[in-house]
Amino acid sequence: MAELTNLRARIDEVDQELVQALVKRYDLVLQVARAKQASGRAVFDPEREKQVLAKVNRLAGRPEYGRALEAVYQEIMDQAKELERDFLA
Ligand SMILES: C=C(O[C@@H]1C=C(C(=O)O)C=C[C@H]1O)C(=O)O
């Protein structure tokens, strides 16, 4: 039980880092939205999304997590596009 508590405390620490990183990422996403609007580019950039997914797989270096990371990252990017559209509306 002490081990479970300890492991969950470590997960809580990682969650804190993840949330901070995501807040930072979404702040940058909104700056990208402004820049794309200024240059007349669309919110959705499929080529860039492919590059991001490839980069995530490369950075992870753990093929067994590839499917999970791709799904998580696709959701992160889908929510980014929602935020961009709300921000620019
Ligand atoms: C943030 C951008 O907008 C969208 C969201 C992306 C992301 O969250 O990484 C990538 C491409 C775009 O579909 C971008 O164009 O860079």
Which numbered atom of ligand 1 lies nearest the CA of 84?
3
Q: DSSP secondary structure string, 34-66?
A: HHHHHTT--S--HHHHHHHHHHHHHHH--GGGH
Q: What is the ipTM of this complex?
A: 0.99
- The pLDDT of residue 59 is 95
Which numbered atom of ligand 1 lies nearest the CA of 48?
11
- Which structural domain range is residue 39 located in? 2-88
The CATH code of the domain that includes 56 is: 1.20.59.10
Q: What is the pLDDT of residues 26-58, one digit of tens each?
A: 999 999 999 999 999 999 999 999 999 999 999
For residue 10, report the distance from its CA to the centre of ligand 1, in Å.
30
Whether residue 1 is predicted with pLDDT greater than 90 in this model: the reply is no
- The tally of domains found in the chain comes to 1
